[in-house]
Amino acid sequence: MKGGKSKSDTRNAKLSVNKKPAKAGRKSGKAAKDPNKPKRPASAFFVFMEEFREQYKKDHPKNKSVAAVGKAGGEKWKSMSEADKAPYVAKAEKRKVEYEKDMKNYNRRQVIY
């Protein structure tokens, strides 16, 4: 055939893997994380889980499963009323305000450098 590819040529082209040699000392396009950047604040659920984990460990000292603690915490959080969740939401909001203030300071320092 003139100018056309046969079926066997296209199959072989699809099956072949073109591997490029890895470049030494180069990562996959991600920028390095700044260790001085403030961490994002925990949500209300995670604030609740901080306290819940301690209580769960006291009540179930032989339990080593992280999944069991997470499931029990999630079930309790779902069963709580909005009034019960309010203190955790307030703590999360307080942490969020602190984070935003820290981020403003951090960004201000980044502009200077």
**33-89 pLDDT, tens digit each:** 888 899 999 999 999 999 999 999 999 999 989 999 999 999 999 999 999 999 999
In the chain, the largest separation of any two C-alpha atoms, in whole Å, equals 80
3 DSSP assignment: S
Let me know: does 48 contact 85? Beta carbons within 8 Å. yes
Q: What is the pTM of this model?
A: 0.66
- For residues 107 and 91, membership in a common domain is answered with yes
Residue 109, in any domain of the structure: yes
Q: Which domain holds residue 113?
A: 83-113
Top pLDDT among 4 and 85 is at 85
Residue 19, in any domain of the structure: no
- For residues 91 and 74, membership in a common domain is answered with no
Residue 17, in any domain of the structure: no
- For residues 87 and 113, membership in a common domain is answered with yes
- For residues 59 and 76, membership in a common domain is answered with yes
CA separation, residue 52 to residues 2, 48, 56, 70, 77 (Å): 74, 6, 6, 9, 10
Chain centre to alpha carbon of residue 87: 24
Question: How far does the chain reach from its first CA to its final CA, in angstroms?
Answer: 65
Residue 62, in any domain of the structure: yes
Residue 26 has pLDDT above 60, yes or no: no
- For residues 90 and 73, membership in a common domain is answered with no
Residue 3, in any domain of the structure: no
Residue 6, in any domain of the structure: no
The domain tally of the chain equals 2
Residue 9, in any domain of the structure: no
Residue 102, in any domain of the structure: yes
